[in-house]
Amino acid sequence: MSHRTRVGVLRGGPSNEYEVSLRSGAAVLDALQKYHENRYEAKDIFIDRAGNWYMGGIPIVPETAIHSVDVVFNALHGAYGEDGKIQSLLEHHCKPFTGSGSLGSSIGMNKILSKKIMNDHGLKTPHFHEFTSDRVSKDADTIVKEMFQSFLMPAIVKPASSGSSVGVSFVKYYDELAVALREAAKHGSTVMIEEYIPGIEATCAVVEGFRGQDLYALPPIEIRPANTFFDYDAKYLGKSEEVVPATFTNKCKLAIEDLSKKIHNALGLRHFSRSDFIIHARRGIYVLETNTLPGLTEGSLLPKALRAVGSDTHEFVGHVIELAIKNR
């Protein structure tokens, strides 16, 4: 048999999105083993919550694991896997990997920095204030008084650098704000209070070099959460209705697709990304945030959008690996 490309699938990790990453990685391994076994040799690289690395269940130092494969499929989510740290390590060892590079990853993970860049590019995002988690832990009540004078409720309170809606709260009244601030502060060094914009939620993924296009937009998905916003339970416990293709007008769909491409380029992202939006009836489309490593579980949004255009996860996996190899 001719040499197969060794693909190391990184999954797990020390973040709050550990369980989601395990499932995303399992989906990638399944795709490689069932549909690409003649071309790729899948290697399961598991990182536990403490940051210890394993290959095939055997403890291994990161450098050895990295040099044991030809290319890495990054299925990590959240801190370490999505914020530029693992990307920096892979770049240091000149190992090709899927997803955005270290700079794009760190920008995409930082909601405040990415919002500022979007605003610089003329992309509408909700108004916000930021506070250090250290100040929140020491002086949350004073922050609440400041917000009472300058910020209207309701609002969304979230960590500035996290995913999967971990630590995110919908706050209706000022007396709920301190609790929400302290909760968000547990999940990052900076907390953001963001204007709540009522409307229809949507998400749209883009993939580079797919179906003959430099940057291909998958169909926007309309999200109808059972709760006020698309929280962790809605995303991963089936507590939402996700309509794909969305019921938006064609003009609205095209606008969302165009915005998703613009965001991907503005943030300097690579290979693929997925951006979230809120559509207000009068104020138009607002960008909420961008995910540089969207989930690949059976219930994740990106696979649903792929299926809507006659594709699937295993085609996507093979395509992205080839992008990584070409970008080396």
Find the catalytic residue in 18, 236, 242, 300: 236
User: Quick check: is 236 catalytic?
Assistant: yes
Label residue 3 by pLDDT band (50, 70, 90).
Answer: confident
pLDDT of the residue at 235: 47
The reply to whether 170 and 202 lie within a common domain is no
For position 184, which CATH number holds?
3.30.1490.20
Q: Is 78 left (phi over 0), alpha (psi -120 to 50) or beta?
A: left
The reply to whether 88 and 234 lie within a common domain is no
The reply to whether 17 and 59 lie within a common domain is yes
Domain boundary among 177, 195, 213: 195
pLDDT of the residue at 328: 67
Percent of the chain with pLDDT over 70: 94
User: Quick check: is 161 catalytic?
Assistant: no
For position 57, which CATH number holds?
3.40.50.20
328 in a structural domain: no
54 in a structural domain: yes
Mean pLDDT of the chain: 93
The reply to whether 261 and 116 lie within a common domain is yes
Sign of the CA dihedral running 53, 54, 59, 61: negative
* Mean of pLDDT values over 56-77: 97
Find the catalytic residue in 11, 23, 270, 274: 274
The reply to whether 157 and 37 lie within a common domain is no
User: Quick check: is 100 catalytic?
Assistant: no
Q: How many domains does the chain have?
A: 3
294 — phi, psi (to 5°)?
A: -60, 150
The reply to whether 187 and 250 lie within a common domain is no
The reply to whether 172 and 248 lie within a common domain is no
pLDDT of the residue at 140: 94
The pLDDT tens digits for 196-233 are 999 999 999 999 999 999 999 999 999 998 766 544 45
303 in a structural domain: no
pLDDT of the residue at 167: 87
* Mean of pLDDT values over 257-264: 98
User: Quick check: is 120 catalytic?
Assistant: no
- Tokens at residue 328, please? 């080396």
pLDDT of the residue at 184: 95
How far apart, in whole angstroms, are the C-alpha atoms of residue 176 and residue 245? 37
Residue 104 identity (one-letter amino acid) = G
User: Quick check: is 48 catalytic?
Assistant: no
Find the catalytic residue in 164, 240, 260, 300: 164
The reply to whether 283 and 271 lie within a common domain is yes
324 in a structural domain: no
* Mean of pLDDT values over 175-197: 94
318 in a structural domain: no
* Mean of pLDDT values over 95-112: 96
Q: How far is CA 278 from CA 23, 66, 285, 287, in A?
A: 27, 39, 6, 7
**Full domain range(s) for residue 278:** 108-124+198-292
223 in a structural domain: yes
For position 286, which CATH number holds?
3.30.470.20
244 in a structural domain: yes
Label residue 268 by pLDDT band (50, 70, 90).
Answer: very high
User: Quick check: is 164 catalytic?
Assistant: yes
320 in a structural domain: no
Domain boundary among 175, 195, 215: 195
Label residue 295 by pLDDT band (50, 70, 90).
Answer: very high
The reply to whether 189 and 257 lie within a common domain is no
* Mean of pLDDT values over 224-249: 71
Find the catalytic residue in 105, 114, 260, 291: 291
Find the catalytic residue in 110, 276, 286, 300: 276
User: Quick check: is 102 catalytic?
Assistant: no
The reply to whether 152 and 39 lie within a common domain is no
Find the catalytic residue in 167, 201, 295, 300: 295
The reply to whether 231 and 113 lie within a common domain is yes
Find the catalytic residue in 8, 11, 12, 17: 17
pLDDT of the residue at 229: 53
* Per-residue pLDDT at 20 exceeds 70: yes
User: Quick check: is 195 catalytic?
Assistant: no
* Per-residue pLDDT at 238 exceeds 60: no
The reply to whether 85 and 215 lie within a common domain is no
Domain boundary among 170, 195, 220: 195
